[in-house]
Amino acid sequence: MRRFRTYHEVDAADRSHVPEQVGEQRARLEARLAAVGAVVIIASGKGGVGKSAITANLAAALARRGAATGALDADLNGPSLGRMLGVSGHRLIDAESGVQPAVGACGVRVMTAELLQGDAGAPLRWQGPPDDTSLWQGIAEFGMLREFLSDVAWDGLDFLLIDAPPGTDRIRRLLDLVPRPDLCLLVTTPAEIVRFVVGRSARLLADAGVRNVALVANMMTESDPPGGGAVPALAQETGLPLWASIPWDLRLARSTDQGVPFVLAEPDSPSARCFSSLAERVMEAAGSRTAP
């Protein structure tokens, strides 16, 4: 029977120095994140809930309040955050302090896999043995995300927002890199199927020991029953507070498609006011160095 060795069993005779490499990478990651005021994960578990749009608008709302803000798109295979914050086509600069993130709307610093591709419309392909593509893809994705966190110059930020990809397994993988986020926002919608998926994500976070978690309801309409429906049921089942209920507005989607956060395009709209209120709650809960 084949037996696989763990990192701790790899010795110097292999000349791979794997334990040392892993230790150095972990130390570099911890040092980088220690220079950030608060790390906020925006997740869901379900795709198509508008999580990236919420991340982009929350980042812009925080920046408008004077907070130095960064946004990391952890969805490596379907990145969209860069386009929403207006950095598509920007060039990255590798400086002594680390890779300099692109600067988007309101001065938000952005890192996304899109900026590494010469052709933004091309699908991301992972190199590896042709017979084990799926196995190597998982390893490559994890390594790339770790480098986005540890090798990009996030230092001096009040907030680093991480837009998590869909899938509860992806949330678990992200927590392997950021086991103690200062805050996690779970995005849901009035749909029942979303309620069940987000409920599983909430349980995953609780099992992982993440305690500072809140719900953000997106795409709410006037027909959603007040006090009833999927969103209040989810809040009751999980015991999580509902921090924002963002109304459906087609202009929001159009605005983000154009690389202009809605909080800038329509600052007096109900949706933009919701983002502003959410930013204030995030600043208060995370204990930012910058007062609202």
Which residue, 248, 238, 144, 225, is CA-closest to 198? 238
Mean pLDDT of 162-189: 94
What is the tally of structural domains in the chain? 1
- The H or E element that residue 236 is part of is helix 230-238
18-34 and 133-150 helices, crossing angle to 10°: 40
Q: Beta-strand (E) ranges in 221-291?
A: 242-247
Residue 70 near residue 109, CB atoms below 8 Å: yes
Q: Is residue 4 part of a domain?
A: no
Q: Is residue 10 part of a domain?
A: no
Give backbone dihedrals phi and psi of 44, rounded to 5 degrees, phi first.
Answer: -160, -50
Which whole-number Å values give the CA distances from 287 to 35, 40, 182, 221, in the listed order? Answer: 15, 12, 9, 32
Cα–Cα distances (Å) from 132 to 135, 139, 141, 167, 170, in that order, read 5, 11, 14, 22, 20
28 in any annotated domain: yes
* Structural domain boundaries enclosing 26: 16-286
138 band by pLDDT with thresholds 50, 70 and 90: confident
Please, which pLDDT band fits residue 7 given cuts at 50, 70 and 90? Answer: very low
CA 101, CA 131: separation in Å to the nearest integer? 35
| 39-48, 72-81, 104-113, 119-128: the lowest-pLDDT one | 119-128
Spatial CB neighbours of 93, under 8 Å, sequence gap ≥ 6: 99, 100
Q: What is the pLDDT of residues 243-266, one digit of tens each?
A: 999 999 999 989 988 999 999 999
Give the DSSP per-residue string, 95-124. Answer: ETTEEEPEE-GGG-EEE-GGGG-SSTTSPP
User: Averaged over 217-228, what is the pLDDT?
Assistant: 76
Tell me: pLDDT of 211 over 70: yes
Mean pLDDT in residue range 197-206: 97
The answer to whether residue 1 is domain-embedded is no
> Among 23-37, 118-132, 256-270, which is the least confidently predicted range?
118-132
Tokens of 76: 């490596």
- Which residues, including other chains, have CB under 8 Å from residue 170's CB and lie 6 or more apart? 74, 164
Mean of the per-residue pLDDT values for the chain? Answer: 86
Q: How many CB atoms lie within 10 A of CB 29?
A: 17
Q: Would residue 127 count as lying in a domain?
A: yes
CA dihedral 82, 84, 88, 92 (to 10 degrees): -30
Q: What is the mean pLDDT of residues 93-108?
A: 92
Q: Which CATH number belongs to the domain containing residue 201 in this structure?
A: 3.40.50.300
In a domain, 5, yes or no: no
**pLDDT > 70: percent of the chain:** 82
Please choose, from the candidates 131, 67, 121, the residue with its C-alpha nearest in 3D space to the C-alpha of residue 89: 121
Decide if 7 is inside a domain: no
**Of the candidates 283, 204, 210, which has an alpha carbon nearest to the alpha carbon of residue 243?**
283
Asked if the structure places residue 55 within a domain, the reply is: yes
